[in-house]
Structure 1
Amino acid sequence: MQRIDYAWRLFATALCFFLFGLGALVMTVIIFPLYFLFAGQYRTSLARKTIQTAFAMFLWLMQFTGVLKFEIRSAQRLTECSGQLILANHPTLIDVIAIIAYMPNVNCIVKQELWNNPFVGMVVRSANYIRNSDSESLIDQCEQALQAGNNLIIFPEGTRSRPGEPLKFKRGTAHILLKSKAMLTPVIIQCWPSTLTKGEKWYKIPRTKANLLVEVQPAISITEVMMAAERDADGYSARQLTKKLEDYFVSQIAVGR
């Protein structure tokens, strides 16, 4: 029975990612080009709602076929927030899918390669996501998006974490927080046994079904994160804030285990 279960989950994983790629191709070739007939803001909202729906369907498909068990706690905090920075740790390939599936209007930072990708380039351009090609204006673009009422997803690690290794956040997130003064909603993501981690092929599935848990924490301010940290003449430093964010996520992940 274990071999049959493993074989089925391997097949189901391949099927899910095949359909994901096929769906991206259909949206790029047929659906999203039509969105450019509409004005800018309406096109952006329509594109983001379409992406949310597609991600929700993919997440449902992975659960329905038995690839993984998914649970999200306090999802209403994602659906109700506005102009907030959504910060999440990044243990798996599908973390952004699990978050966007619950957010109809959310922005995120995408790599330049995705912007030019023939399969998803049209999708991310239609959604008016922020590309990371121009590091000098990136923080300003993020601040403008937040001030316009957009929620913004950021993975402070900058890439997927490796199992067993400590979290290591980059300072870019702290610079965005310090400049925008936006509220932040921490999202704690855990997956056991680990799967779809950095450097791991999609077909390297675990021996048992993976459990993906997403816990949405209450929104907090920079002051609440820093608490007793000392301020310098210009306020909190990016280094201090980055360390405090790391400590917060490490403590929350430990609580959830």
Structure 2
Amino acid sequence: MPRFLRIPLSGLAFLIFYGCASAIAWILLPIERHRLRHLPADEQRLALDRFFMRTYAFAIGFMARLGLMHYRLPDTSKIPPGPKVIVANHPSLIDVLFIKASLPGVVVLVKAALFKSPSLRRIFMASGDFKGPDGEGQTFGKTAVLDIFVERLRAGRSVLVFPEGTRSPAWRLHRFRRGAAEAAIRAGVPILPIFVLNDPPVLKKGDKWYDMPKRVPEFELEVLPMIDTANRSSRELTTELRNMLAVRLEAARERTVARNRAEN
């Protein structure tokens, strides 16, 4: 689809996204909870996890049907069950949608500002996401936030962390913070690295909804081998994680450069 058509469709997608968020929060979610009310608490939690997983899958599927992107989700059937820290690079605004559509029951720390929306707040709280402190206090390395993450892990939830703390620059990575590895060590859980490919980069930090690349962007997730955190330091683990994702990012960049040269 040409770029001049994708720009208005992108605006339409954002409008529909927020409209659907209200419909989910105030109509579909209450209906789902009513349907599940007779189940034990654990089964209700699992059913809600699947409900939200389908919701996120629908959201990205809808954007793909509009012609705004192509995407490929990973096969997660062989991922061992149990709580884990999920660590990923963060090239775009919508990375979390792909990860939540791939793995049920994943919780994230949400910016405090987003909790000001009544509809989004209901969705976040129902799915297990939780609010970070206001302002700079929401940094993952802060003790209070780290304690919340460890608490969630010990309660059996998997926690998604973007160690860069913000969206990545195009084809690069920021410095990784050690909070994700530290939380995994304290809770005694493994780390699951996920590489997110966004080619060409779109919805980066500072991008507007109308900043569309010439080519339709492709999103792809690669689940990397699980990392055991026993007897490891957070510094060592953080370095390993960043190197692992940086290698894949550079390989993807080189493929794109080669393809662009061939097309030109």
Same fold (TM over 0.5): yes
Tell me: CA distance 1:255–1:200, structure 2 relative to 1, closer, same or farther (3 Å).
Answer: same
Native 8 Å contact 2:74 2:102 kept in 1: no
User: What's the CA shift for 1:142?
Assistant: 2.1
Deviates more, 1:111-120 or 1:136-145: 136-145
Q: Among residues 190, 199, 213, which one is paired with 1:192 in the alignment?
A: 199
Which residue number in structure 1 is paired with residue 51 of structure 2? 50
Which residue number in structure 1 is paired with residue 225 of structure 2? 218
Native 8 Å contact 2:88 2:194 kept in 1: yes
Residue 20 in 1 paired to residue 13 in 2? no
Residue 243 in 1 paired to residue 239 in 2? yes
Which residue number in structure 1 is paired with residue 259 of structure 2? none
User: What's the CA shift for 1:62?
Assistant: 1.5
Native 8 Å contact 2:171 2:249 kept in 1: no
CA–CA separation in structure 1 for the residues paired with 2:164 and 2:245: 11
User: What are the Cα deviations for residues 165-218 of structure 1, in whole angstroms up to 9, with x where unaligned?
Assistant: 433111211221221121111100111111011110011101111111211112
Q: How many residues get paired?
A: 242
User: What's the CA shift for 1:117?
Assistant: 2.2
Equivalent residues in 2 for 1:110-125 (5 A)?
Answer: 110-125=110-125
2:73 partner SS: strand
Which residue number in structure 1 is paired with residue 174 of structure 2? 167
2:118 partner SS: coil
Which residue number in structure 2 is paired with residue 151 of structure 1? 158
CA–CA separation in structure 2 for the residues paired with 1:42 and 1:173: 28
Unaligned 5+ residue runs, structure 1? 224-234
Which residue number in structure 2 is paired with residue 230 of structure 1? none
TM-score when normalising by structure 1:
0.83
Tell me: CA distance 1:66–1:167, structure 2 relative to 1, closer, same or farther (3 Å).
Answer: same
CA–CA separation in structure 1 for the residues paired with 2:224 and 2:233: 24
Deviates more, 1:190-199 or 1:111-120: 111-120
CA–CA separation in structure 2 for the residues paired with 1:6 and 1:69: 14
Which residue number in structure 1 is paired with residue 29 of structure 2? 32
Equivalent residues in 2 for 1:221-236 (5 A)?
Answer: 221-222=228-229, 236=232
Tell me: CA distance 1:67–1:77, structure 2 relative to 1, closer, same or farther (3 Å).
Answer: farther
Letter in 2 for 1:73: P
Native 8 Å contact 2:9 2:68 kept in 1: yes
Unaligned 5+ residue runs, structure 2? 254-264
User: What are the Cα deviations for residues 95-140 of structure 1, in whole angstroms up to 9, with x where unaligned?
Assistant: 0000111222222221222233223011111222232227434333
User: What's the CA shift for 1:42?
Assistant: 5.5
Which residue number in structure 1 is paired with residue 108 of structure 2? 108
1:101 partner SS: helix
Letter in 1 for 2:114: L
Residue 179 in 1 paired to residue 186 in 2? yes
Native 8 Å contact 2:172 2:249 kept in 1: no
Which residue number in structure 1 is paired with residue 260 of structure 2? none
Aligned-pair identity (%): 25
